[in-house]
Chains A and B, each alone.
Chain A
Amino acid sequence: MITTNKLTFGYTSARPVLSNISLNLQKGHIHGLLGCNGIGKTTLLKLMCGIMRPQQGEVRVNGVDPMKRDVETFKELMIIPEEFDLPNISLEMFARVTSPFYPRFDMGQMRHYCEEFHVNPNEKLHSMSMGQRKKAYISFALACNVQTLLLDEPTNGLDIPSKSVFRRLLAGYVDDSRMVVISTHQVADIEQLLDNIVVLDEQGVALNATTAEISRRLKFGKASEDDKVIYSERTLQGDMAVMLNEYDEDSVLSIELLFNATTANRHAIAAIFNTK
């Protein structure tokens, strides 16, 4: 579980990137962290894994401050940044050197993931393309079997077949003892993976709700006269709306529409989901 309490951080003291972020992310879920460019998604992930220190407020990973850099906590916590440098050795060698930090690491699993991604774990990491290197690192990270996995724009640079491999591996990864947080702009890539949606905006947390709860309270699509419309936009398919789901209808959640609705009509969305 990750909790943040009135978390504030800025790279300069004059202008905070994140202010007053209070969040509670539960185990057993794949959380989608959404927000416009520059809103602080990457910064929040870095604060969650102790790369940076909050200016005010606190972060706790399973009750422990990640800034303590406590071994027991770090054994179970991993981040895949959007961009990263790896040494010019093979993934196998990298795994042999790094995996002692992760007691649940499984070499066989890593080789299997590499096979699924069509990545050669014996090839030097610097001779791989950016996409191949990302898949290699994802294979290593998943094989570490940590309880808390943070992913920053993981599908950037992946080709189309790799995105579906990624979805399958992630869907098989999460269980009651684990959680995954994915920050992304490529919502379509991972829509079916997410079961909790967090939207950040300038004022903080605009939404934090499970997809089941969202579908229970809202419906998406073409509005009729009786519908209580919260937001609508013009598309090629006609006007698509976010509406109150008053009669428990089955509706297809559109994360893109939900995101736009939250950006355009924050108060209405916050009122429905009791966001502070």
Chain B
Amino acid sequence: MMQFSDDKPIWRQIYELIAMRILSDEWPEGSRIVSVRELAQEVGVNPNTVMRSYERLDGDGIIFNRRGIGFFVAEGAKEHIREIERRKFLDEELPKLSERLNLLGLTIEVKSMK
């Protein structure tokens, strides 16, 4: 059973759940993913909320909709997710982390493996 935290909207948490499944190859690139209704049932969340997560993932180019068939994982989705996550880390998480490191008198070096 999925546990939801209360620091992020539920649609965002489902967005991240799907992204994790793609990154871990549970849902490989090019494959069809479960329907909105199936995922709603699995996580016990309103299907309209789950639809919102699918729409955002579609808008971000991570999945795409084949009318009447369902949603598929886009080619290059994994690298795309990593890029989004990297940007989020650098813009949002790193500033907080470095503030804390400063406070504690620590330094750290961040390198891209690309």
Residues on A lying within 8 angstroms of B by beta carbon are: 28-30, 164, 167-172, 174-175, 192-195, 211-212, 215, 250-254
Alpha-carbon gap, A212 to B48, bound state (A): 9
Q: With an 8 A cutoff between CB atoms, is B12 at the interface?
A: yes
- Contact A192-B4, Cβ < 8 Å, known A175-B37, A250-B12, A253-B9: yes
Using an 8 Å CB-CB cutoff, how does the interface string of B37-70 with A read, 1 for contact, 0 for none?
1101111111111001000000000000000000
- Residues of A within 8 Å of B38, CB to CB, are 172
Alpha-carbon gap, A17 to B46, bound state (A): 31
**Closest chain B residue, CB of each to CB of A169:** B41
- Residues of B within 8 Å of A29, CB to CB, are 48
Looking at the complex, which one of A28, A167, A172, A192 makes contact with B49 (CB distance below 8 Å)?
Answer: A192
- Contact A168-B48, Cβ < 8 Å, known A175-B37, A252-B6, A252-B9: no
Looking at the complex, which one of B4, B9, B41, B52 makes contact with A171 (CB distance below 8 Å)?
Answer: B41
Interface centre among B1, B7, B47, B49 (most CB of A within 10 A): B47
Interface centre among A29, A167, A194, A254 (most CB of B within 10 A): A167
Whether B47 contacts A174 by the Cβ 8 Å rule is: yes
Looking at the complex, which one of A164, A169, A194, A250 makes contact with B46 (CB distance below 8 Å)?
Answer: A194
Q: List 5 A-B contacts (CB under 8 A).
A: A171-B47, A192-B45, A192-B46, A195-B46, A250-B12
Whether B12 contacts A171 by the Cβ 8 Å rule is: no
Alpha-carbon gap, A175 to B36, bound state (A): 11
**Closest chain A residue, CB of each to CB of B12:** A250
Looking at the complex, which one of A169, A193, A254 makes contact with B45 (CB distance below 8 Å)?
Answer: A193
- Residues of B within 8 Å of A175, CB to CB, are 37, 47
Alpha-carbon gap, A206 to B42, bound state (A): 33
- Ranked nearest first, the 10 interchain pairs of A and B with the lowest CB-CB distance are A167-B44, A172-B41, A171-B40, A168-B44, A195-B46, A195-B48, A192-B45, A164-B1, A171-B44, A171-B41
- Residues of B within 8 Å of A250, CB to CB, are 8-9, 12
Alpha-carbon gap, A29 to B37, bound state (A): 13
- Residues of B within 8 Å of A215, CB to CB, are 9
Whether A30 contacts B46 by the Cβ 8 Å rule is: yes
Shortest Cβ distance from residue B71 to the other chain A in the assembled complex, whole angstroms: 17
Whether A252 contacts B49 by the Cβ 8 Å rule is: no
Interface centre among B1, B44, B52 (most CB of A within 10 A): B44
Whether B47 contacts A192 by the Cβ 8 Å rule is: no
Whether A193 contacts B44 by the Cβ 8 Å rule is: yes
Whether B37 contacts A168 by the Cβ 8 Å rule is: no
Whether A252 contacts B46 by the Cβ 8 Å rule is: no
**Closest chain A residue, CB of each to CB of B14:** A192
Alpha-carbon gap, A250 to B43, bound state (A): 21
Shortest Cβ distance from residue B9 to the other chain A in the assembled complex, whole angstroms: 5
